Amino acid sequence: MLEGGIKVPLFLFWDQHFKSGKRTHLSMMMDIFPTITDLAGIKTKAEREGISLLPFIQNEKAESDRILFWVRREGGNYNGQSYYAARKGNIKILQNQPFEPFVLFDLSKDPFEKNPMHPKDLPEGQLLKKALMEHIQASGKIPWQ
The tens-digit pLDDT sequence of the chain (145 residues) is 788 778 777 777 777 777 777 777 788 888 888 888 988 888 888 777 888 888 888 776 666 788 999 888 776 666 667 788 999 989 999 988 778 889 999 999 999 999 999 988 888 999 999 999 998 888 777 776 5
Q: Where in the sequence is the domain holding 125, given as residue range(s)? A: 68-139
pTM: 0.78
Q: Is 62 part of a structural domain of the chain? A: no
Q: Which of 89, 78, 81 is nearest to 131 (CA)?
A: 89
Same domain, 134 and 78: yes
Contact 27, 53 (CB under 8 A): yes
Q: Where are the alpha helices (DSSP H) in the chain?
A: 3-6, 32-40, 54-57, 123-139
Q: What is the pLDDT of residue 145?
A: 58
For the chain, what is the domain count? 2
Same domain, 79 and 128: yes
Same domain, 112 and 134: yes
Among 15, 31, 57, the domain boundary falls at: 57
Among 11, 38, 57, the domain boundary falls at: 57
